[in-house]
């Protein structure tokens, strides 16, 4: 592995660093049923609940519950959902002063979860589309020194592009979760320290089929060849595959019975950011993130499923921490 073996090799001394998340905040409207409906089909549900969500907010809460110093930047509406989301961030220990209230309605997500934990999600962006370069600049300027920046694709492409360029120039370690998948300007890739898609997103970004670990390795190498510093492809039950210019690692998942996979990927990336920000090595951070995601899928909801440091530590004591292995 190269400088990504520890985030601090290139970005400063081995000390705890802040985590900044710029991204989406949504209220999730969740229905549980035995089977996901097909097109034109009506099914009866077993349960309905609302839960705080949005990929950005999920990742921020995940990192904060694990002890990281986290700031969330984004937009909500002047409505009840927006107020509830801000309260939830504060309760999780996330600094929310960089979250702006707008006249647009708070983002929502309509989520259906079946008996196996699989889900379908429809996102209505709402206030998330008000994120702009000015908000990004305020968020970056609000940190006393650079740390880990987490981005996703649920805010405008222009805001993300500005965040990547400005954060890289200021010395931040940039992690982009390209979800949902959309094209990324080639000039931005060299400023992304880790691009972290799942199989579907990796396939969309590279034009390759990603159906197994070998496919993921080929897609990851493709993204690195295009300029990304490193690629991390999450593979659900098969864990995650990391590669950079010097090699590749596979980190297995924890074998548990999934109840709800909503926010498992967000929990994984929030845990990865928290671990790297604390100065842990990349391999150790991959194992810790896998354990955090394993705990999340055993619980219902997005943010309600995300564990504290004590809970993840207990989970590791019961199931063990996955150990990444080098692959050819």
271-283 pLDDT, tens digit per residue, is 999 999 999 999 9
User: Does some domain include residue 43?
Assistant: no
Residue 15 pLDDT: 60
For the annotated catalytic residues, the residue numbers are 266
* Stretch among 5-14, 72-81, 171-180, 262-271 having the lowest mean pLDDT: 5-14
Domain that holds residue 99: 3-25+54-106+126-327
- pLDDT at 33 exceeding the cut of 80: yes
Q: Would you state the structure tokens that stand for residue 186, as one six-digit string?
A: 């080639």
Residues with Cβ within 8 Å of residue 230, at least 6 apart in sequence: 4, 193, 194, 195, 224, 242, 243, 244
The neighbouring-strand residues paired with 173 are: 148
User: Does some domain include residue 297?
Assistant: yes
- pLDDT at 261 exceeding the cut of 90: no
User: Does some domain include residue 32?
Assistant: no
How many domains is the chain built from? 1
User: Does some domain include residue 58?
Assistant: yes
59-82 pLDDT, tens digit per residue, is 999 999 999 999 999 999 999 999
User: Does some domain include residue 44?
Assistant: no
CATH code for the domain in which residue 232 is found: 3.40.1190.20
Q: Name the band, by pLDDT with cuts 50, 70 and 90, for residue 11.
A: very low
Residue 328 burial by Cβ neighbours in a 10 Å radius (0-12, 13-18, 19+): exposed
Helix, strand, coil in percent for the chain, rounding step 5: 40, 25, 35
193-249 pLDDT, tens digit per residue, is 999 999 999 999 999 999 999 999 999 999 999 999 999 999 989 999 999 999 999
């Amino acid at each position: 592995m190269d400088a990504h073996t520890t985030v601090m090799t290139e970005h400063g001394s081995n000390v705890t660093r802040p985590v900044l998340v710029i991204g989406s905040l949504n209220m999730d409207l969740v229905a549980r049923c035995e089977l996901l409906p097909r097109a034109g089909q009506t099914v009866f549900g077993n349960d309905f609940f609302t839960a705080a969500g949005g990929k950005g907010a999920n990742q921020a809460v995940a990192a904060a519950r694990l002890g990281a110093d986290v700031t969330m930047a984004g937009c909500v509406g002047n409505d009840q959902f927006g107020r509830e989301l801000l309260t939830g961030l504060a309760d999780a220990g996330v600094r929310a002063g960089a979250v702006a209230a707008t006249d647009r309605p708070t983002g929502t997500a309509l989520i259906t979860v079946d008996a196996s934990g699989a889900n379908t999600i429809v996102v209505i962006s709402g206030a998330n589309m008000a994120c702009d370069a000015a908000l990004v600049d305020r968020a970056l300027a609000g940190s006393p020194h650079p740390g880990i920046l987490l981005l996703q694709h649920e805010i405008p492409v222009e805001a993300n592009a500005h965040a990547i360029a400005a954060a890289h120039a200021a010395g931040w370690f940039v992690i982009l979760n390209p979800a949902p998948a959309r094209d990324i300007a080639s000039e931005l890739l060299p400023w992304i320290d880790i691009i972290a898609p799942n199989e579907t997103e990796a396939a969309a970004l590279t034009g390759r089929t990603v159906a197994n670990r070998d496919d993921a390795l080929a897609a990851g190498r493709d993204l690195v060849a295009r300029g990304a510093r490193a690629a991390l492809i999450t593979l659900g039950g098969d864990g995650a595959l990391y590669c950079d210019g010097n090699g590749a690692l596979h980190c297995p998942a924890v074998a548990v019975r999934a109840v709800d996979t909503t926010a498992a990927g967000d929990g994984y990336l929030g845990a990865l950011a928290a671990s790297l920000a604390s100065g842990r090595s990349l391999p150790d951070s991959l194992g810790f993130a896998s354990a955090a995601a394993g705990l999340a899928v055993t619980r219902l909801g997005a943010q309600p499923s995300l564990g504290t440091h004590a809970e993840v530590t207990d989970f590791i004591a019961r199931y063990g921490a996955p150990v990444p292995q080098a692959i050819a």
